[in-house]
Structure 1
Amino acid sequence: MRVVIIGAGLVGTSIAANLAADNDVIVVEDDPDRADQLQFDLDILSILGDGTSLATLQEAEVDDADMFIACTGDDRTNLVACGTAKTLGDPFTIARVKSAEYLRTWQRKHGAFGADHLVCSDLLTAENIVRVTGLPAAIDLDPFADGLVHMAEFEITADSPVASQTVAEADRFKSLTFAGLFRDGSVLIPGGETRIEAGDRAVVIGSPASVRGFSNDLNPSTTPDKADDIVIAGGSEIGYHTARLLEERESKSRLIERDETRARELAEELSGTVVMHQDATDVDFLSREHVDEADIVIATMPSDERNLLVAVLAKRLGVDRVIAVVNNDEYVTLFEEIGIDVAVNPRGVTAEEITRFSFESVAENLSVLENDQAEVLELELDSDSSMVGYTIRELDSELSGQFVVGALTRGGTLITPRGDTTLEAGDHVIIFVETSFADEIIARA
């Protein structure tokens, strides 16, 4: 497949890295240093120029492209680029936007702006946050197989009941698979005798009930049946969408916004949310409003520095669970190292969604974990698949890389995989695999 990508920021670079191995990828970038670096790092063609320019897109041979992805940091640039691409040929066009206004317009008429698919980063980020609030001990949660399967990632603390246990001892749930461990910057495929250590990040795959059960075992104090009191600091678009989605789930939330006009607008839009006109970094205010009693505090302000301050203040007040939006991807590790439970990077979330959509022809679903060290793939096996008829044990002996079949569904029913499970046509197979080995798994499917 020939793919033209406009923009070589974090989003564009991440998408290019994921697609480059099996596709002809061309990136258009107007920053010469970034264009040169991308060409050097990924060994792909980069073209220096304006992605909205007809001449530049002609140079990129968009008329011969199968897919066109506009993912710069400017909404209008991306929409104009898609419209221009459609004048040259008929690639499938994907535009990244931050504003939900453009998304609402596009939803009224798919194909508006020349975009065949629109990805709204603010809404995606809010959806990601809300998923995690549904399982407060998790740092990542993604549904697979139409919700029959959940993949969740948990950080193992020193006081966790499963720290120092073997995987066999920690796995007390019939419909759960320990898929992988991240330890000291590396991916570890665990066996039953693998000992779980403090500081590990454990990835489990299974039924929603079993994942929640494991979460309760892991840290019962932070996994209530429902988060009853959620505080959102910041009335940004991400904060607004987070509150709106929580209202749809009938969760109670309080939103703090320091701009009076914005606070008034939010109060009119969010009938089920308590909107407070105040500064979320005011310690006295936070104490008066008993923010320390909140189940979760979510920092969604546009400024990473203010989000960091709110997150630290919430932790000092005694809030168990703090989630922060981190716009600069270089700060994600900093937020995590100082004890913030979940750091959500909108550009990383957007890159994963576009990559997932781009892989739809070969994978039904995709999650990228730990800075692209590993992936969770959902593959639907047809009658021509070379996996059909093999047991999982036979596949493991034939394939060179390490992987774990975390779950599979057959006819809408969840099946917990074992070594002697034989794969059949029509199965949806959810596989945890190191990113470097993902292409071999996909090719086998």
Structure 2
Amino acid sequence: MRVIIVGAGEVGSTIAESLSGTHDVVVVDIDADRVETLTYELDVLAIQGDGGDINTLREAGIEDADMFIASTDDDETNIVACGTAAVGGNPFSIARVKRPQYLHTWEADNRAFGVDFMVCTDLLAAENIVGVIGLPTARDVDSFAEGAVQLAELEIPEGSPVAGQTVREADRFDSLTFVGIIRDGEVVVPDGDTVIEGGDEVVIVGNPESARAFSSAIAPQENRPSDIVIVGGGEIGYQTARLLEERGFSPRLIEHDGDRARWLAEKLPDTTVLESDATDQSFLERENVGSADAVIAALENDQQNLLATLLAKRLGARRAVAVVDTIAFAELFEAVGVDVAVSPREATAEEITRFTRGRHAENVSIVDGDRAEVLEVEIDAESVFAGRTIREAAADLPEGVVVGAITRKGEFIVPRGDTVVEMSDHVVVFVETAVLDQVTERI
């Protein structure tokens, strides 16, 4: 498949790196230094030029392109680039935007802007944050099958009741499958006799109720958070507060700009908006931020978010979540004391990546820095699963593949070896990265 990517920033470069081994990738960027860096670092064709210029796109081979991804940091540039691509060829086009209003317009009429798919960075980040907040010890959460299936990557604390149990002993939930364990940087595909250790990160797939129940079993002392503080009222902070309100929470939100604070107070009826500097320790002490169950930092840059979360933890906040704009900083944030680092750019790259997986996966979640992926696939006649039991299909697949869930006409089905997979079922499958290319074309 020939893929043209406009924008060689973190999102575009991440996508290019993941596709360069198996696809013909062309990257277009107006910055000569970025183009030179990509030329030496990745097996891609890098072109300097304006992605909204038809002549540049023709040089990139737009006539033969199968997919066009506009991933610059400017919403309008991405939309214009997709429109230009439609003039020069007929690729499947994807536009990355930050502002949800463009997404809402496109959702109202998919013909809007001439874009085949649109992904909103800020809304994805907010959804990720809200998912993590809802599950104690969760490092990452994602939804599949229109919310009927939930993936959770959960850290097992030392001293947890689950630590020392086998998977068979811990698996007390009817609608839950243990699909992977991350231990010492390696992926372990567990069986019933695999012992769960303190410090492991366990990857589970199941319905949301079972995921919450297992999360509670891991850390019984951790209750559903009641006091949530959001630091920063920009788009991510606003969307996070809005989604929390929809789930019955009444968060507090700290915003420095007076005009923005008043606008937020009008838009968020169940949120207490406080106008102040979130790095003012005396203010945080007066407002008892240290007693919060969770503090979410969604300020303008990584340095501010790191300072705000570490300050909140020092004051006693139980859990700190920070938005990290630079993908490479995520592990550093968590190493110095931030409980969860959420990268909007990484979430966007994941969402776009799903369109390159085999016959277009319905959803994709990248596990622990690309050590594995969880894919949702609608079964058709070409799938190895079609009309067969899971045990029969597994015999024709490499090791490192686990079926985590099945939904059929919206109904959740717990996968077992003798479960027959039918046409049009949605199958959620865990796949180790080492065998990903072998698996995606077959499932």
Task: Please give the TM-score of this superposition, normalised by the length of structure 2.
Answer: 0.93
Unmatched tracts of structure 2, length 5 or more: none
Which residue, out of 366, 369, 372, partners 1:368? 366
Deviation at 1:104, TM superposition (A): 4.3
Note the alpha carbon deviations across 1:80-118, whole angstroms, 9 max, x for none: 222222222232322112223433454555444443332
Q: Which residue of 1 aligns with 2:191?
A: 191
Deviation at 1:359, TM superposition (A): 4.2
Tell whether 2:51 aligns with 1:47. Answer: no
Work out whether residues 6 and 27 of structure 1, in 8 Å CA contact, stay in contact via their aligned partners in 2. yes
**1:444 is paired with a residue of what secondary structure?**
coil
Q: Which residue of 1 aligns with 2:346?
A: 348
**1:398 is paired with a residue of what secondary structure?**
coil
Question: Which amino acid is 1:429 matched to?
Answer: V
Work out whether residues 136 and 216 of structure 2, in 8 Å CA contact, stay in contact via their aligned partners in 1. no
Q: Which residue of 2 aligns with 1:291?
A: 289
The separation in 1 between residues aligned to 2:358 and 2:254, in whole angstroms, is: 39
Q: Which residue of 2 aligns with 1:212?
A: 212
**1:240 is paired with a residue of what secondary structure?**
helix
The separation in 2 between residues aligned to 1:204 and 1:238, in whole angstroms, is: 27
**Aligned pair in 2 of structure 1 residues 65, 342: CA closer, same or farther (>3 Å)?**
same
Which residue, out of 404, 407, 410, partners 2:408? 410
Note the alpha carbon deviations across 1:149-183, whole angstroms, 9 max, x for none: 21111012213222232222222222211110112
The separation in 1 between residues aligned to 2:110 and 2:344, in whole angstroms, is: 24
Task: Please give the TM-score of this superposition, normalised by the length of structure 1.
Answer: 0.93
The separation in 2 between residues aligned to 1:253 and 1:133, in whole angstroms, is: 12
Note the alpha carbon deviations across 1:310-354, whole angstroms, 9 max, x for none: 111221222222111011112111111123221101100111111
**Aligned pair in 2 of structure 1 residues 399, 223: CA closer, same or farther (>3 Å)?**
same
Give 1:201-280 correspondences, 5 Å limit. 201-224=201-224, 227-280=225-278
Unmatched tracts of structure 1, length 5 or more: none
Tell whether 2:139 aligns with 1:116. Answer: no
The separation in 1 between residues aligned to 2:302 and 2:24, in whole angstroms, is: 36
The separation in 2 between residues aligned to 1:307 and 1:278, in whole angstroms, is: 15
Question: Which amino acid is 2:401 matched to?
Answer: F
The separation in 1 between residues aligned to 2:211 and 2:108, in whole angstroms, is: 37
Tell whether 2:300 aligns with 1:302. Answer: yes
**Aligned pair in 2 of structure 1 residues 110, 363: CA closer, same or farther (>3 Å)?**
closer
The separation in 2 between residues aligned to 1:113 and 1:409, in whole angstroms, is: 33
**Aligned pair in 2 of structure 1 residues 118, 378: CA closer, same or farther (>3 Å)?**
closer
**Aligned pair in 2 of structure 1 residues 37, 177: CA closer, same or farther (>3 Å)?**
same
Work out whether residues 215 and 223 of structure 1, in 8 Å CA contact, stay in contact via their aligned partners in 2. no
Deviation at 1:232, TM superposition (A): 0.5
The separation in 1 between residues aligned to 2:438 and 2:39, in whole angstroms, is: 24
The separation in 2 between residues aligned to 1:255 and 1:110, in whole angstroms, is: 34
Work out whether residues 222 and 320 of structure 1, in 8 Å CA contact, stay in contact via their aligned partners in 2. no
The separation in 1 between residues aligned to 2:383 and 2:303, in whole angstroms, is: 50
Tell whether 2:423 aligns with 1:439. Answer: no
State, as a whole percentage, how many aligned pairs show the same letter. Answer: 56
Question: Which amino acid is 2:12 matched to?
Answer: G
Work out whether residues 20 and 44 of structure 1, in 8 Å CA contact, stay in contact via their aligned partners in 2. yes
**1:409 is paired with a residue of what secondary structure?**
strand
Deviation at 1:26, TM superposition (A): 1.7
Deviation at 1:283, TM superposition (A): 1.9
The separation in 1 between residues aligned to 2:85 and 2:361, in whole angstroms, is: 26
**Aligned pair in 2 of structure 1 residues 286, 412: CA closer, same or farther (>3 Å)?**
same
Work out whether residues 153 and 202 of structure 1, in 8 Å CA contact, stay in contact via their aligned partners in 2. yes
Deviation at 1:204, TM superposition (A): 0.6
Q: Which residue of 2 aligns with 1:311?
A: 309
The separation in 2 between residues aligned to 1:68 and 1:42, in whole angstroms, is: 18
**Aligned pair in 2 of structure 1 residues 102, 412: CA closer, same or farther (>3 Å)?**
closer
Work out whether residues 137 and 223 of structure 1, in 8 Å CA contact, stay in contact via their aligned partners in 2. no
Deviation at 1:37, TM superposition (A): 4.2
Stretch deviating more after TM superposition (38-47 or 239-248): 38-47
The separation in 2 between residues aligned to 1:208 and 1:170, in whole angstroms, is: 17
Stretch deviating more after TM superposition (76-85 or 354-363): 354-363
Q: Which residue of 1 aligns with 2:78?
A: 78
RMSD: 2.2
Q: Which residue of 2 aligns with 1:38?
A: 38
Question: Which amino acid is 2:206 matched to?
Answer: G
The separation in 1 between residues aligned to 2:106 and 2:146, in whole angstroms, is: 25
The separation in 1 between residues aligned to 2:207 and 2:123, in whole angstroms, is: 26
The separation in 1 between residues aligned to 2:160 and 2:2, in whole angstroms, is: 48
**Aligned pair in 2 of structure 1 residues 113, 146: CA closer, same or farther (>3 Å)?**
closer
